[in-house]
Structure 1
Amino acid sequence: MTKIKFSILLILISLSSIYSQHKIRETFSEKFVPFVEIYSEKGDLIGITDIKGAISSDLEDKIRTSKTTNLTFVNSLYITTALSIEEYNNTQIISLNKVSIELSEVVITKPKTYKYLKLKGYFRSLQINEDKPHYFIDGIAEIYISLKSGKTKLKIISNRSFENKSVKQLSKTFFFMVAGVPTFNEFSNFESLNAEYNLKTVNNSQTNILDQETSLEKGTIATVNNKSNLQLEIISQSKPKIMKALGMETDYNNYTINSIYENNEIQKINSENIIYYKEIRSYDIKRKQKDKFQKVEATHEFYLLEKEYVNELGTKQFDNFYSFKRPNKFNERYWEKVDNQYFQPLPKSIEKYIEENLMLTEK
């Protein structure tokens, strides 16, 4: 009898644990929101929800041990939302409002003679080391994509580059710096995505992306406001990518992309139709075997402003992707004039931390 009571107690505890899990859902909908970033009031990225919009038990523990007083929830398709920790604890289902978009049709013809696609846009990137924002860069950039080979070249037109001098690097001689303009991942293109994953149509507005070996769901393609939204977890904490070179070990434990396209046909998901791109990366790095791992997280975004087909490159001098460009170069407050329907300012917690702790680089 005692054993039966004990078993029932374990079941009840297990059920309690399951039902106390927080989830993030779209307001006025039964749709749960995947890959939502959760930030503390200090501007550090605590973690990301899973493909089902659920906050895992590990992430719940991180939120609890962080002793944060406020949480900010970020996803490109939804209005950034902040909650006090008390509101969070008392709300099992967190609702996010979808970004309101005005529908407009843009038609650009592409004569066969053109050699390059030129994408001009606003970019921003934040690198967080050991839960502290370390580098922040934003600016205006032009990306040239060869229509023949698919190879890309980058020119940064304007930029602001901020650094937190109080955050230490891996060593005095080794710097790990990835803040900069992102390249579009190969799987943001339908042909590459379809070759690597199994795509399963759920209904007219959603396609699930499944791992070919395990059939686990890795992402979704959804039709929203007559546009396509791709969200994909390429590398996960459950299956990290471990790299070792020159005595350094890098455990690559999260790589997620989120991109939006100016069409509602998944076959047309490619760089020619992209209007927004974001990726989130997480690493654990150590310089020597005896060293402790240092946690590094980075977000990279690109908001399309102008698209043009050209035959000539606009410059002979190019910049590197994922490069923290110095010094600053800007004549106007371009960050206040980002004409992209999906643009949202940085979360207030991050803006405040950058303002108080990071400085514009001189050289």
Structure 2
Amino acid sequence: YMELVNKLSFKNIINLKSVSDINYKIDKIINKKIRYQFFYKNYKKILEDPEIDLVLVLTSMKEHAKISKEALRKGKHVLVEKPMATNMKDLKELMQIAKKTKKYIFAAPFVVLSPVFQAMHQEIKNKSIGKISLARARYGWAGPNWGEWYYQTGGGPLFDLGVYNITTLTGLLGPVKNITAKSSISNHFRKINGKRIKVNTDDNFQILLEFKNNCLAVVTTGFTMQQYNSPAVELYGSEGTIQMLGDDWEPKGFEIWRNKRSSWELYKTPYANWPWASGFTHLVDCILNNTKPLINLDHAFHVNEIMIKIYESSQKNKQISINSTFKPLKFDKKIKTKKSHLDHDRNHDDI
């Protein structure tokens, strides 16, 4: 986010007024990277400032819902990192407040803004691979060696990493009706910031999603993967297969197999430098121009409910129903794609 804040500040589009963190040492670290006027240990001072229009909530996960609710009540636009909430009570309360206010709330991740995602969305909408019956997605790594909260209740790889896959799959395939999940703690102790700590939340997940269109999808996520070298997302249709290359937060392009052509075709979008934090620039644009966002709050709520109920499914060892839904995503802009051997000149437009 700092890179995009600096970019918009340089263009005089925004003015970063205040930063807050419970650790005063952060001030000395980040004031060398971004310009701002005030640093507070108490975030409430930011919310009380009438000059501030937009608040970014980038704290540890358990604080997201509380701060976001307070910010909306104070009349601020909000960008909140994933997840919006770690339990259904907070999630429902936040949604109720968000629906009543005239302010925007954007919930990460912003994978649906990726040109690769939107290009794949176009292909699926155009029935390029026929009826989709199966899908899979994967995102994980060995896990952070900083931030104990990643390994405490309310943290973990599902809220941190699996959320990308679930957002991508639901964005492409629509709402989920049922989920079944298994999760575990693979490593009961970790060394974080040089200190040995006990892990108190699951760090290893296998998830089955049953969509309302009867498609079945598997999501694999965890702080248990050292490396991998395979597509992030694959969808299997009656007339072909489409797969995203790279991770969904940093996609490199996509490949598509069409039975009619009996070959793989590799496509890249001309947007070489799409930033995973692009929801911030999109939110600023929506505020300034009073335009309808591409980020769908109902979609974000749906994804968040799925994640909360994944824990419930694993704990109860049973299938769990998902109650929320959302309307299909729509993108007015057609994404231009090129076959990889024709991709020489890149477009570096701001997106």
Same-fold call, TM > 0.5? no
TM-score w.r.t. structure 2 length? 0.23
Larger relative helix fraction: 2
Larger relative strand fraction: 1
